[in-house]
Structure 1
Amino acid sequence: MTQELNSLGFAKPPAETRVIVAMSGGVDSSVVAALLHEQGYDVIGVTLQLYDHGAALAKKGACCAGRDIHDARRVAEDLGFPHYVLDYENIFKDAVIDEFADSYLAGATPVPCIRCNERVKFRDLLQTAKDLEADCMATGHYIQRIAGTTGPELHAGADPQRDQSYFLFSTTPDQLDYLRFPLGHLASKAETRALAAKYGLMVADKPDSQDICFVPDGNYAAVIEKLRPNAADPGEIVDMQGNVLGQHRGVIHYTIGQRRGLGIGGLDTPLYVVRLDPDRRQVVVGPKEALATRRVPLRELNWLGDGKLTDRAEWEVTAKVRSTRPPRPAILRPVSETEAEVELLTPEEGVSPGQACVLYQPDSSRVLGGGWIWRGH
């Protein structure tokens, strides 16, 4: 008689299935741990210490990493499963923070949360989970792993407001095989909080973190200046023909698509930041229509679709060029296994180097992969 698959997809009882739960100290990952513990799995909680707010960034009133570690440990203690804290500060600095600073200085708009998932949580922590002889690793991300005809597929979370697929496009097929996302099917955050209350979790009412973890007040420029002294050298604001319109206080203070705070008044039409040129220390501004982009070159492309990326000259996809925007119809044209050009059928404004472009199957929640936008128009 064959053993039925348990809720995590293994042909053995939950008690014989070891799960590492990546616990951030927030409500989502705490609920995952409580849910799997209640179902009888052999749960081990792991929390990563990624940075020291006090020493690294001298933040006041920041959501302290120590508080999150304390909360994760308390949840594990209250429920009665083992919990470990791993010091990943050096790995996080090398793999995420340094690149974030350098990308900003190069005029890009980086998304460090993607790099953290890719290089820290789903690479180093996942390897640790395997070293602990876990059958799988579970996280509190709002994304779905669905069995497909050729293996597990990555799908957007059921709640469009909470969907985190944009931040997880670089998950590889091997990683997807090992990962589980028990909250991805939930219709709303209210359901997660209701579960937290049901399990009596002390983090049930803890607010969601809104910012990048090491930039708690959203002030990127202050962090960059601390990490890279002299980063905020002033320079010129120029129009698209190179005429000087004013002075700026450092390229790192500006983002593509920005209109406010340029300090150049008396103009007939509003101007927007259309390009950053850190080599010349110039902020290039132009009319709104200059922001419209149709062709988006990608590199470091991670492909999760069926077959090889290069099996076709063109793929019909929907493409998401910012985490806050819906996917829009596009054509994906592979250049190699890891490079491609996306043609947006309707031009989008504010497409920025350093951001991700995430690809979905049309009329479906399936994530086909994505890549990094790497140069302007």
Structure 2
Amino acid sequence: MTFNSRLDPETEKKLLKLFDLNVNFRLLYKGSHFNFDIRKLFQICSDQGSFILTVYFGKHIFGGFLKKSLPRSNEQVKDEDAFVFSLYDSDSTATRFSVNEGHHAFHRTYSSISFGDCLKVAASDREFHVNLCSTYDFNWPEWDWEKQLCEEVELHRVQGRSPANLKKGGQPIALTLCDVRDMGDSEETGLSLHDALAVINGHAPEGYKVCQPFCGMPINPSSAGYCLDPGLQDKIHCVVFVLNARSLHSYGESLVKMIKKYRREISDLGEYFLVIAAQFYLHMVTFLHLLQVQEAASLADVPVSFVLPVKNYMSELTVNRDTDILIFSAVRQILHAIDDTFEEERGEKGQEGG
């Protein structure tokens, strides 16, 4: 089931101005939609990249930004780019404050998330409460509330917006699709994780035939054409899994575990993981969008926004707008994900150079 952000366009523009780079927001979690279940927030939003948390009180909006991912376990996160912000009604300007001391920029417990000593959001009995704290170098606007009940809490993924290479007149991306064999219920019955990671990391040469089950040697430096020092053009920058939307309920437990295992490993590499839910009949796409996208997202352990419904092409010989728009939309999302990966790599190199 889909859900919409409480952010109106004008307010979103004000928050976007808090960032030095050109970014946009992708809603991953909305408290009222998930009955203010913080466990669901951790399940959906962990390991999904940079994020912004927004907390609503009437005309007041408070929140925080973390450039790093929300951790899956209870831990503190160091992030010099983290900040908190405040905004009051559509006539004001959003104010940004750096979080005190990067070594405890963010802290997660089983029932709360905190941005330094500035902002803490805690959950109990399907409610979210917020504490706003003042320190010697940080002060909220006049505010008398402590442990105040939140009207709404949202978490958005922060990602690159309309990258220049997708705009009219910009440098085009040379999109290359790499197709590999199916996964099985185990590494012995389908593509092994070792070989999948070798392909993603650019070690497998073009046209390499991945081993069939029980055939012996996995991809390694002694394999013919093995690329020992792959360049940017050799690597995979977005991994896409294609699921059969009509039979998600029949996926076995072992296969589901394999998919989630692959997703975790791919996330650790910093690559993007998207899911395409393929459907045979066009008139079923709307039904899929309402009832099966959430199932596909849960199966692959990814946010709903990472699931891209498309229609299978069987015997089409002519252009069909209703059919083609789905695949074009999916390709555009893939290109955005690739560009986000490049942005992160450039940012990391810039920090190393500094």
TM-score surpassing 0.5?
no
